[in-house]
Amino acid sequence: MSALTNYVMTTKKKATLKRTTRRAAAAKRPQGRRAQNKAAIRKRIVTAALSLFQTKGFDATTTKAIARKAGIAEGTVFNYFRTKEDIALHFFEQEVDQAIAAVRDNPRLRKAPIEERLFALVHSQLEFLAPYEKFIGAAFIHALKPASPLGIFSHRAQELRHRYVGFVQELLDESMPKHRHSPLTFLAPEVFWIYYLGALLYWLHDSSPGKQNTLAFLDRSLSIGVSVLKQGKL
Amino acid sequence: MSSQKNTATGRAFSMASMGAGIAGSYFGYLLQRVFLGEAKGKLKLKSTHVRAARRMADEMQALRGPAMKLGQMLSLQTGVLPDEILAELATLQMEAPGMHPSLVRAQVKGSLGREPEEIFKEFTSKPFAAASLGQVHHAITREGRHVAVKIQYPGIRRAIENDFSLFRTFSKPAQASGHIRKSAIDEIEEQIVAETDYLREADNIEFLADRLAPLSFVKAPRVFREYSSDKVLTMSLMTGRHLEDFLAQRPSQKVRNQMGAHLFELFHFQVYEVEALHADPHWGNYLFNDDAGISLVDFGCVKYLSHEAAAYLRSVCLYPGSTGSAHFRRLLETYYEQVGEKLLPGARRALINFAENFYRKVYPPKPDKDQLFDFSDAIFLRDFLRESKNLFRTKGVITEFIFMGRAEMGLYQTLHRLKARVPTSQIVKKIFEETQVH
């Protein structure tokens, strides 16, 4: 991560925090019938697309095929998403939002140690992705291409990253008193994002039954990471 | 992957992903615990021994697990540890990292398909005991039964296998020189890896519960197969006190004798009659009841003996003639031949010395009617360890008896702590008489 993105990240952090809370509030607000219909169609498109991404592959899937699968006109798809990359990004936004909500809304986790909360966050992301593992593998490669709209450096993906990093910062602030913050704590949320990408790669390669090794990896690496963070040095 | 399986380095490469070093080693976990200082507070060495020796044992305790078991064997050979400590090591448990509730949930869901709260009416997220390679939680089934749910730490089997393949590479020189036998490493790995399969443990429980039924003082749990898998084992909750708590109540000599006799009978009944034994002598695996009953828990390590092995032990235990006789020698040689081992002269001498200096004393072949062996004196324990070491040194240990030997050491250690006086030979004779038909 460059110094520039770090700078952008820290200045954006507050805004991001507000945005995440607004989103959570929006989700709770009762919806009108029209909005409900729209949400249902959006969901249908995403489900159809994901199933095609998973079976046919991301590259081979066209918006036409998605429309057919969802049982709607191709034009309707464009009312919701400009491209199939948009659909994929929407899916990743859902992944992050539901994971944040899973940790934030779980009363049991409120008093849990930071390593458990971070574990719950990543685990809930992976659980969300699990049915589409094949597609995630392809998307991962896509995401590393600099020009790809799915790429980790694309504008929308950056925004998603800020939301995620902001939440990790929130978790850290809650469980570690400010005065004990070290330069490592300052970097930690950004590093955690990279850690998550590593964990995702590990998970994709994990052939153990029930992805046992990923659970062990998350547990053990998080306990090391948090311990290093608390000591304030490597 | 199978093509690379034979070399440890190939194995390491096959793990491929970058986190393998962290999640792929049991030994690594143990080091991590030492590094993070997690192990300190949990150390409990439960007896009164010299302070320096205790500190040494603390270090060894930090290496619980397969490494500890291997270490135990090696230290037997080299004699680097005091005898009392060796005996204590036999009773230590293979530990796994503690799991936080979120990990417990993930593990149960991954293994049984549902979260514990969906499966059980009640599930206590805080564990009440550590188990071999996992932890035990209290739960109530939908039918209202109180159960113990044993949950395994994820990925532990692979981690252990990785460690063993590395250990095999590192110990090549020692294997070449004959100091560590390949068959011994195989035996230890097989048993330890078997412990990671809770379905096999469920089989063990049902097998032993059935075969131990003639011993009215022994209780074994019931398995709930519908809530069990290879990583989660649900059993009925057993009652009783751990040895420590039992002793803290200052039981009378009579009660201690009775308990000792029961433990002793249980061990020998398993060897001669069942031909399989609960071979993990960790104290947490035995619960003592006020009526001198014993509840068994944790059946991960059950050693099944061959019929020939049990017959051989029967022929040498309580051997009535002279241990120096040609007949006794033939008994030993015949069995070693049977298992494809050559009994070297040094090992033969060690075996005869073992019989003479330990078994003859503890198990007199022609006992009086009121014969009692007093286990309170530590001399017998030292005799046992000295003779075991000699047997190791002269390469006379038969692979099949490695785990039984550890269980036997655990038994003596427990009897010593109980300060029990036990009619040893009478009990063995009684078992021989009752099971003559076999």
How many angstroms from the chain centroid is the CA of residue B71?
A: 14
A195 Cβ under 8 Å from any chain B Cβ: no
Q: In which element (H, E) is residue B309 found?
A: helix B307-316
Q: Would the pLDDT of B148 be above 90?
A: yes
Is the Cα dihedral A29, A30, A35, A41 positive or negative? Answer: positive
| Shortest Cα–Cα distance, A59 to chain B (Å) | 26
pLDDT at B61: 47
Per-residue pLDDT at B188:
79
- Tens digits of per-residue pLDDT, B135-146? 999 999 999 999
Most A-contacting residue of B102, B123, B232 (CB-CB within 10 A), to test interface: B102
Distances (CA, A) of B321 to B317, B330, B360: 11, 13, 11
**Partner-chain residue, chosen from B18, B36, B155, that has the shortest CB–CB distance to A208:** B155
Q: A27-42: per-residue pLDDT in tens?
A: 555 568 888 888 899 9
Q: Closest Cα of chain A to B12: distance in Å?
A: 14
Q: Do B107 and A123 touch (CB under 8 A)?
A: no
**Model confidence pLDDT, tens digit, residues B81-93:** 555 555 555 555 5
Model confidence at B10, pLDDT cuts 50, 70, 90, reads very low
In B143-289, which residue ranges form alpha helices assigned H by DSSP? 156-170, 172-176, 182-194, 198-211, 243-248, 253-269
Asked if B100 reaches chain A (Cβ–Cβ under 8 Å), the answer is yes
Average pLDDT of the segment spanning B109-115: 93
Secondary-structure class of domain A3-28+83-231 per CATH: mainly alpha
Residue A110 sits at the chain B interface (C-beta within 8 Å): no
CB contact under 8 A, B154 and A212: yes
Report pLDDT digits (tens) over B239-294: 899 888 899 999 999 999 999 999 999 999 999 999 999 988 777 788 999 888 99
Q: Which chain A positions have a beta carbon within 8 Å of B196's beta carbon?
A: none
Position A175 scores a pLDDT of 83
pLDDT of residue A179: 63
Q: What local confidence, expressed as pLDDT, does residue A181 receive?
A: 65
Q: Do A208 and B153 touch (CB under 8 A)?
A: no
Residue B108 Cα, gap to closest chain A Cα (Å): 10
Residue B27, chain A, CB below 8 Å: the answer is no
Q: Are B147 and B236 in contact (CB under 8 A)?
A: yes
Complex ipTM more than 0.90, yes or no: no
Beta strands at B232-236 and B146-152: parallel, antiparallel or unpaired: antiparallel
DSSP label at residue B436: T
Predicted pLDDT at A4:
37
Find tokens 């003559």 and name the residue: B436
Domain range annotation of chain B: 243-434
- Whether pLDDT at A22 is above 70: no
Across the interface, of B17, B22, B107, the residue whose CB is closest to A215 is: B107
Spell out which residues of chain A touch residue B125, defining contact as CB-CB under 8 Å. 108
Domain boundaries, chain A: 3-28+83-231, 31-81
| Chain A partners within 8 Å of B102 (Cβ) | 109, 112, 116, 119-120, 123
Q: Is the dihedral of CA A71, A75, A79, A84 positive or negative?
A: positive
The answer, for A53 touching chain B at a CB cutoff of 8 Å, is no
Using CB atoms, pick whichever of A109, A199, A213 lies closest to residue B155. A213
d(C-alpha B170, C-alpha B188), whole Å: 16
- For domain A31-81, the CATH class is mainly alpha
Whether residues B102 and A198 touch (CB distance < 8 A) is answered with no
CA pair distance B315, B307, nearest whole angstrom:
12
Which pTM does this prediction carry?
0.78
Closest CA to B193 of B89, B300, B104, B73: B300
How confident is the model over A24-82, as pLDDT tens digits? 555 555 568 888 888 899 999 999 999 999 999 888 999 999 999 999 998 998 999 98
Summarised one tens digit per residue, pLDDT across range B150-166 is: 999 898 888 888 878 87
B135 in Cβ contact with B129 (< 8 Å): yes
The whole-chain average pLDDT of chain A stands at 82
When pLDDT is cut at 50, 70 and 90, the band that residue A144 belongs to is confident
